[in-house]
Structure formats: C-alpha cells, structure tokens
Amino acid sequence: MYQGDNGELKYQVITFGCQMNEHDSEHIAGVLEGIGYTSADHQDDADIIVLNTCCVRETAENKVFGLLGRLGKQKKQKPGLILCLGGCMSQQEHMGSRIKERFRYVDVVFGTHNIHQLPDLIEQAKAERRQVIEVWPDSRGVVEDVPARRQQGVRAWVSITYGCNNYCTYCIVPYVRGRERSRTPESIISEVITLGREGYKDITLLGQNVNSYGKDQTGGMDFADLLSAVNDVDGVERIRFMTSHPRDFCDKLVGAVAKLPKVCEHIHLPFQAGSNNILRLMNRGYTREYYLELVDKIKSAVPDVALTTDIMVGFPGETDADFADTMDLVQRVEFDNAFTFIYNKRQGTPAARMDDQVPAEIKSARIQELIKLQSGITLRRNGADMGKVLECLVEGPSRTNKDLMGARTRTGKIVIYRGASEQTGMPLPLRITGYSLTHLNGELLPEK
C-alpha cells in the first residue's frame, strides 16, 4: 500500500544536470503522483525523496554525495523516509557497489532507462526493508506513456531522441544514456498537440544531438521535417531545440530554421574547442573552418539569430596555441552566451587514459581568461538590444518581487519589466531599457 492513513504522503524530486534530467524528473514526479503522492513544499515534509543525478563532471557527483550524507542524517530522525537515487550516476558500473558500501540507507537505486518501474521498486523496498537496486544497463526500446507532472507555465520540454552515438572522447553520456533512439514522429506530435491544448506555448525539443533525429528509423522523417510538423501544431507559438551537433546541422535544417515562423532565432551550438588538433582528439567530427562556415550560413539565413555554445578548456594535450584558437573562435563568432567547462576525467572514457593531462593551475587560468572574454561579448550583445522593441512571451511574476514580471525574447533572453501577473502567457512587445550579463530590462509600450 502506498497511501498513508491520512492519504497525505509527499514527495520531493531533486534534480542535477542537464535539461534531459529536468524533463526526466517531470516523469519521475508524474509516476509518483500516479501512485498517490503529492508534491512536498519543503524537504522536511517529504516522505520520499528522489535524487535524479548527473555524472558529466566530478563536481556534479560530489554535490550528490554531500546531499546523500545530509539526507542520511535526516533519515535517522525520520526512519520512514524513503530515499531513491536515479539518473546518470546510477548507470555507472562502479556506482552500485559504492552506493551499497557507503550509503546503505538509500532504499532504491534505479537507472535512466527504468523510471517507469519506480512504483514497484518502492513497494519492494518497503515490503522487504532492504536496498533495492534495479538499473537496466541499456534501454529496451523507447518506453512511451510514462506520465509526466510538468512544471506549470508557458514552456514545456519534449524528448525527441534518447541517448547518444557520438562518443566524444571526454564524455560519459553515451555510456549512461545508451545508444541513440528516436521517438516516432506520431508520438512526438501527439504530445505537442496535447501541450498546445493545455496552454504551453514555448516548446523545446530535446535530445543529445537533435540534428540526427530519425536516422535510426525507417519512416524517412528527419529533424527538419519534424520541425515543420511541429510548426503546424495549434496553440504552440514558439519552438526551440537542443542540443545541436555542428556536424549534423545540414543545409536543409538551416533552411527550415529560417523559413518556419515558430522556430525561434536561438541556436545552441556547442563547439567545445577551437583547435583542429583538439577537435580531432575529442572525436567531434568537424573542423574549426567547418564550424565557422556553418555559423556564417546560419547568420545570413537567420538575421538577428542568437547563438550560444558550450566550450571546454584543458582537454588532454591542449597547448597554449590550441587554447588561443579557442579564444579566437569565441571572438570571431560573438556568441550571445557560453557555458564554459574545465575538462574533467570521467572513468571509462578514452580521454581519461590519454597522456598529457593539463595541470589544474593552467586549466583554471585558461577558464578565467575565457570567461572574461565571453562576459564582455555577452554584455555587448545584450547591449545591442537597447531601445529595440522585441516580441516577448510573458512567463510569470519574478520570484523576488511580485510587481516585476519575467518575459522571454524569441532569442531566449529574459526581460524583466513592471507589469501584472494576468499578463502571464501573453505575447507582448517590450521596449528594452537596460541590460546586464544575465538579463534585459524592458517596459511596456504606452497604450495608444
């Protein structure tokens, strides 16, 4: 039996990592609500706590270990508390034994491929009073119809592919998320139609490499075709997608982004490194010349496009000259924003075994230099919107000040303005009156 005497069992899901995990957490919440749990406002009120973990870098893992320690103490005070650990960390082969040894009090360990089994695993852990570990090593196809409890608002995420086949030499994702699998166009479109009816207006299509959508299917629909089909769905006003792999960003896709009215002028296009030598060692499958040419194509086909990226410093063997190539590429492209990372060894990946690991002080000096350069560019790019009137979609009141509202431009930037909560969900033209590194400030146009 899942339900307590008062029927008031509560859950909390704590998420680490990328948007894929954020969306998986919506499914975890949906599954828990399906067996009668309701969302807890506060961690202390929760009867079940699920950690949805990330292992892309060591820092992400360390945060989870720290939190597990604190939750262990909480469980001593509240022995009935059920702790579950899911997500990418639990998919690592060595993790099962580590959890068994260090965190015996975790009740359920589950993987990224078997979220739908959570109710049975919880029941088993409760009945048998032991740690239950069930991690499917790889997916057994795409499991459809797992319920989701989506965040309220105007934005929603839709997975279109799972897993990754690229095997970039630094990256753990293919090992913990499995081979790339595309969902069928029918199941994606039917999900988007439902979201449109429910009032979600800004839809992001998700996958580790959305551009290779459909390559594992016989139906013949590629990513550009899928965008076109999503563009036809009523109620949806904006379409975004991430992440794009530069190698698979074909001309047909550039054309689709330019032509389809609902597809936003925002493309997240990780380049990782500006040096051809490092790109080859990373197994990224493109050169800096190819990347720069692609950026030129996108910029000329999609005027006012905002480009964002992921950049890594300190990959094994990265010399000063290689790093200078990265800085040079950042200067040339003028990204609106960039996520910057220090290379971090991941057990089981080819790069972890490479010689020439870069010393920590050099990595840290390089990232500082890179962040400084990109911050200047981000400020300049945000400043270039000053005085413009931009079409914004209102997302809701600011958390800290209820007179202030948050809206988003088609280019993905947040605009804070003085308004009313009734405007949530409305498209509004806003005049840009200020800017910072993180957002723009705006004002409503005077009524005519």
User: Quick one: which of 164, 393, 394, 405 contacts ligand SF4 (CB under 6 A)?
Assistant: 164
Are 52 and 60 a contacting pair, CB within 8 Å?
no
Q: Which residue lies nearer to ligand SF4 by CB, 169 or 374?
A: 169
CB atoms within 10 A of CB 375: 13
Name the one residue in this structure whose structure tokens are 């592919």. 161
Which of helix, strand or coil describes residue 366? helix
- Angle (CA) 10-16-21 rounded to 5° is 85
Interface segment toward ligand SF4; rule CB under 6 A; list 170-178, 220-228, 328-336, 376-384: 170-178
Output the smallest distance, CB 18 to ligand SF4, in A.
9
Phi (first) and psi of residue 445, to 5 degrees: -80, 145
State yes or no: residue 206 binds ligand F3S (CB under 6 A).
no
Interface segment toward ligand F3S; rule CB under 6 A; list 54-62, 139-147, 350-358, 408-416: 54-62
Tokens of 53: 């973990």
Output the smallest distance, CB 32 to ligand SAH, in A.
27
Q: List beta partners, residue 397.
A: 405
Q: List beta partners, residue 155.
A: 202
State yes or no: residue 208 binds ligand SF4 (CB under 6 A).
yes
User: Quick one: which of 18, 31, 32, 230 contacts ligand F3S (CB under 6 A)?
Assistant: 18
CB atoms within 10 A of CB 300: 11
CB atoms within 10 A of CB 216: 13
User: Quick one: which of 46, 56, 294, 329 contacts ligand F3S (CB under 6 A)?
Assistant: 56
State yes or no: residue 54 binds ligand F3S (CB under 6 A).
yes
User: Quick one: which of 29, 48, 55, 122 contacts ligand F3S (CB under 6 A)?
Assistant: 55
User: Quick one: which of 154, 173, 312, 338 contacts ligand F3S (CB under 6 A)?
Assistant: 173
Task: Say which entry of ligand SAH, ligand SF4, ligand F3S, none residue 341 contacts (CB below 5 to 8 A, set by partner kind).
Answer: ligand SAH
Q: Which residue lies nearer to ligand F3S by CB, 18 or 135?
A: 18
State yes or no: residue 168 binds ligand SF4 (CB under 6 A).
yes
Task: Say which entry of ligand F3S, ligand SF4, ligand SAH, none residue 57 contacts (CB below 5 to 8 A, set by partner kind).
Answer: ligand SAH
Residues forming contacts to ligand SAH in the complex (CB under 6 A) are 56-57, 170-171, 173, 208-209, 243, 245, 270, 272, 310, 312, 341, 343-344, 346
DSSP H stretches of helix in 178-250:
185-198, 223-231
Q: List beta partners, residue 242.
A: 206
Q: Which residue lies nearer to ligand SAH by CB, 153 or 350?
A: 350
State yes or no: residue 268 binds ligand F3S (CB under 6 A).
no
Q: Which residue lies nearer to ligand F3S by CB, 55 or 393?
A: 55
User: Quick one: which of 209, 326, 337, 441 contacts ligand SF4 (CB under 6 A)?
Assistant: 209
Task: Say which entry of ligand SAH, ligand F3S, ligand SF4, none residue 20 contacts (CB below 5 to 8 A, set by partner kind).
Answer: ligand F3S
Q: First CA to last CA across the chain, in angstroms? A: 61
Phi (first) and psi of residue 94, to 5 degrees: -80, -10
DSSP codes of every residue in 373-404: HHHHHHHHHHHTTTT-EEEEEEEEE-SS-TTE
The CA distance from 269 to 288, in Å, is 13
Are 120 and 110 a contacting pair, CB within 8 Å?
no
63 residue type, one letter = K
Output the smallest distance, CB 189 to ligand F3S, in A.
24
State yes or no: residue 176 binds ligand F3S (CB under 6 A).
yes
* Integer CA distances (angstroms), 415 to 278, 387, 390, in order: 37, 13, 10
Are 171 and 58 a contacting pair, CB within 8 Å?
no
Residues in contact with ligand F3S by the rule CB under 6 A:
17-18, 20-21, 54-56, 88, 172-173, 176-177
Question: Under the rule (CB under 6 A), what is the footprint of ligand SF4?
Answer: 164, 166-168, 171, 173-174, 208-209, 245
